[in-house]
Structure 1
Amino acid sequence: MKVQQDIDNKSEKAYVANLSFPWIRTAFCLLAAFICCILAALIGSVTIAPDAAIAITFTRLPFIEIKNDWPVSWNIILWELRYPRIALAMLVGAALSVSGATYQGLFRNPLADPYLIGVASGAALGATIVFLSGIPSVIAGVSILPIAAFIGGIGAVTAAYTLARRSTGTPLTTLILAGVAIGSFTTAVASILMLRSDPDLRPILSWLMGGFIRAQWSQSLYLLPYLILGFTVVFTYSRILNAMQLEEEYASSVGVNVEKTKKILILTATLITAAAVSFSGLIGFVGLVAPHTARLIWGSDFRNLIPMSALLGGCFLVLSDLVARTIVSPGELPVGIITSLVGAPFFIYLLVRNRSNIQ
């Protein structure tokens, strides 16, 4: 009991000490996030003046009347195109980053990402079936594609977890291998469906590379509850994640129910990842880059790491989307291409840096 109290006291002292210095960095990152959103709202194939953007934004507030001296199209561009994209990109980036940080802590592997145990390939199979089977894209006013992708992602992870489960628990290494096997199988099935389909595969390929070209306010509203619930659960378990960074035996010795924790965190990370990719498509490296950047700035305490990963992940994806829709203007690149161009070199850097620590 005394050992546990000493551990808690040391952890608390370290946490308080850690909080004594990052406030300036946190304020700077919040300011950077705000600037990212402003730039994403103003810049595009049509550049909107900052004063007009402010006026257009405030005209939606009650009891505020501002003289309309800007093109009517700017209202549509901001409220129907750019603001929904910014909101959805911020939420998807936050969801993938929280999931990535959770997997990195749970698997004690710095190279873990949200797609580690098959959720991406499962979501891709679900989306492919909808695209190529002739199922109506909208039924009773509800878009079927996100639902199919969500079900596919959850189904793949459930299958991997079922294969890896043992009577004595669920070995994480076995779970990863099961995820690889299920992911390979679902990818093969999706490839067969695409090869036997109509030769025009541009819609499905565009979705597989990720993007926000069809972003709507309703999608952010659907995703927000998953993100809030997932963030709350993971943040609640952040102290336990700190304890699990040593060994599972150590965590068990200080009273952590390791198997229960693994089940809850895997389920939570999978849910928010599946919900995110169901609207955005498959966007890689966000859940890898953001948590590591947050770790460099705020340290390894998950009580800091989880919220700051969400902030940085949202900013990273908003900026990536801005680049994707302006670099070949008036055309647009899938945002997954931009995140991969940034994330792949970052991944190689981590691989070299952590070569001796990778199990």
Structure 2
Amino acid sequence: MSIALAVSFGSVRIPVGDVWAIVGHRLSGGAYDAWWSQARERIVIDSRMPRAITAAVVGAALAVGGALAQAVTRNALADPYLLGVSAGAGFGVVLVTVLGVGAGVAGVFTVPIAAFLGALIPMFAALVIGGRYQNVTGVILVGVALAQVFSALTMFVLLVLADEHQLSAVLRWIAGGFGDARWSTVTYPSVMLAVVGAAALFAARWLNLLHAGDDGATALGMNVRRFRMLILLGVSVLAGAAVAVAGAIGFVGLLVPHVAGFLVGVNAIRLIPVAALLGAVTLVLADLAARAVSSSTELPVGVVTALVGAPVFIVMLYRQYRGSES
């Protein structure tokens, strides 16, 4: 329903019933007569529908990635960008934008590819360097350090090499949004979500074993270190795919898993699909809110999630620590 509302809303308002009718007409191959104009059909099918579905897929990917990251690190503050993925992706986008590779029509393909390849660099570096340590803290610390390095490189390129137009384009991308969403952009994050999500559900039993602690999981025959590395690899792939098509959207991967855990508990077989559903709905509604703020301009979705997510996060921390003190 949230997708239908997102498709319905815009400069041209289309009733939700018409949205369903247009989609059904297209899927059925024209089984019934159309009472709407061709312009409205193009708006629904070619513009708003891919945007809404991209938002849903990205939201689900970030929420699943956050749930997995929090499970394997046993850290309630972990999110999908744990290994510097967002900073690496931002550097990739800045590089192709400043070099002019992402200009024009080619930018539809080069920017997402550059973002994903940029995300892979800190991810693999963190896993290779930090993976030498038995404790997962080593991987996290290397990821944090690499995120700072790539953020510094991004700022250097923007301040020294970029012009005003390039600076504006990059800052808008970094803030996150779905203005450039096309059907072609939906495919990659959808495939990654399906693959990593299915693998996570298959590994749910081992994810649940981690609640017993490393020693307990090891006693039950689990290679904890190897399992953590594989899950963190999957988390970073999800985050890289999401950032590649939508930019760095914060708080979804951090907060949604907590809401899902509150609703269904920490059992991974229930937590993962519920987190995916809540993440999809959350980001579709956030994108809708970003477009509803003003008719003349579009607010970046990352700004909406930050403005809403930060106060919610503070309240959650307050309630958690107040409960622990009492």
If the length of structure 1 is used for normalisation, what is the TM-score? 0.85
Aligned to 2:74: 108
Code of the residue aligned with 2:67 in structure 1: it is: A
Give 3-state SS (helix, strand or coil) of 2:212's partner: coil
1:198 counterpart = 2:158: no
Matching residue of 2:36: 70
Looking at CA atoms only, which structure, 1 or 2, has the larger radius of gyration? 1
TM-aligned CA deviation for residue 296 of structure 1: 1.0
Matching residue of 1:58: 24
Matched, 1:333 2:303: no
Specify which of 312, 324, 332 is matched with residue 278 of structure 2.
312
For residue 152 of structure 2, what is the aligned residue in structure 1?
A: 188
Query: Counterparts of 2:118 and 2:134 in 1: how far apart (Å)?
Result: 22
How far apart are the structure 2 equivalents of 1:199 and 1:139? 20
Structure 2 unaligned residues grouped into runs of 5+: none
* TM-aligned CA deviation for residue 110 of structure 1: 0.9
Residue in structure 2 matched with residue 351 of structure 1 by the alignment = 317
Look up the match of 1:92.
58
Deviation, 1:180, is: 1.1
CA distance in 2, matches of 1:47, 1:225: 32
Question: Does 2:173 correspond to 1:175?
Answer: no
Change (3 A) 1:44 1:136: closer
| Pair 1:223 & 2:189 matched | yes
Cα RMSD (Å): 1.9
Distance 1:62 1:54 in 2: 12
2:199 equivalent in structure 1: 233
Single out whichever of 73-82 and 93-102 deviates more from structure 2.
73-82
* Cα pair 1:137 1:143 within 8 Å, conserved: no
- The secondary structure found in structure 1 opposite 2:5 is helix
Could you tell me how far 1:275 is from its partner in structure 2? 0.9
With 50-59 and 202-211 compared, the bigger mean Cα shift is at: 50-59
Range with bigger deviation, 268-277 or 238-247: 238-247
Q: Say which is worse superposed, 52-61 or 124-133, in terms of deviation.
A: 52-61
What is the distance in 2 between the residues matched to 1:40 and 1:119? 28
Superposed CA deviations along residues 248-303 of structure 1, whole A, max 9, x for unmatched, are 11110111111220121011111111011101111001101211111111111111
The answer on 1:302 being equivalent to 2:268 is: yes
Code of the residue aligned with 2:233 in structure 1: it is L
**Deviation readout 1:17-76 (Å, 9 max, x if unpaired):** xxxxxxxxxxxxxxxxxx211211111221112332233222213454433333332111
Structure 2 residue corresponding to 1:46, chosen from 12, 18, 24: 12
Checking the alignment, whether the CA contact within 8 Å between 2:4 and 2:20 is kept in structure 1 is no
Q: What is the CA–CA distance in structure 2 between the aligned matches of 1:57 and 1:330, rounded to whole Å?
A: 28
The equivalent position to 2:85 in structure 1, one of 116, 119, 122, is 119
CA contact (8 A) 2:291 2:298 kept: yes
Report the Cα offset of residue 326 of structure 1.
1.5
For 1:65 and 1:232, locate their aligned partners in 2 and report how far apart those are by CA, in whole Å. 35
| Aligned match of 1:246 | 212
On the 8 A contact 2:101/2:107 being kept in 1, the answer is no
Residues 136 and 51 of structure 1: is their aligned pair in 2 closer, same or farther, counting only changes over 3 Å? closer
Q: Secondary structure at the match of 1:246?
A: helix
Query: Partner letter of residue 184 of structure 1?
Result: Q
SS at match of 2:295: coil
Residue pair 1:99, 1:269 contacting (<8 A) in 2 also: yes
> What is the one-letter code of the residue matched to 2:217?
A
Q: Is the 8 A contact 1:95 1:272 kept in 2?
A: yes
How far does the alpha carbon of each residue in 1:71-116 deviate from its partner, in whole angstroms, 9 at most, with x for none? 3321111111110011101110011111000000011011111112
Give 2:173's match in structure 1, choosing from 207, 210, 228. Answer: 207
- Distance in 1 (alpha carbons) for counterparts of 2:182 and 2:241: 15
Q: Which residue of 2 aligns with 1:19?
A: none
User: Are residues 1:147 and 2:113 paired?
Assistant: yes
Q: Which runs of 4+ in 1 moved over 4 A?
A: 136-142
Equivalent in 251, 258, 268 of residue 292 of structure 1: 258
In the TM superposition, what are the counterparts of 1:254-265 in structure 2 within 5 Å? 254-265=220-231
2:130 is the counterpart of 1:164: yes
Higher-helix-fraction structure: 2
Please give the per-residue CA displacement for 1:279-333, whole angstroms capped at 9, x wherever unaligned: 1111001101211111111111111001110000000000000010111123211
Q: Aligned partners of 1:142, 1:319: CA distance in 2, in Å?
A: 24
Q: Is contact 1:111–1:351 with CA below 8 Å preserved after alignment? A: no
**Offset of 1:163 from its aligned partner?**
2.4
Distance (Å, rounded) in 1 between the aligned partners of 2:241 and 2:124: 15
Q: CA deviation at 1:137?
A: 4.3
- Shift, 1:138, TM fit: 7.1
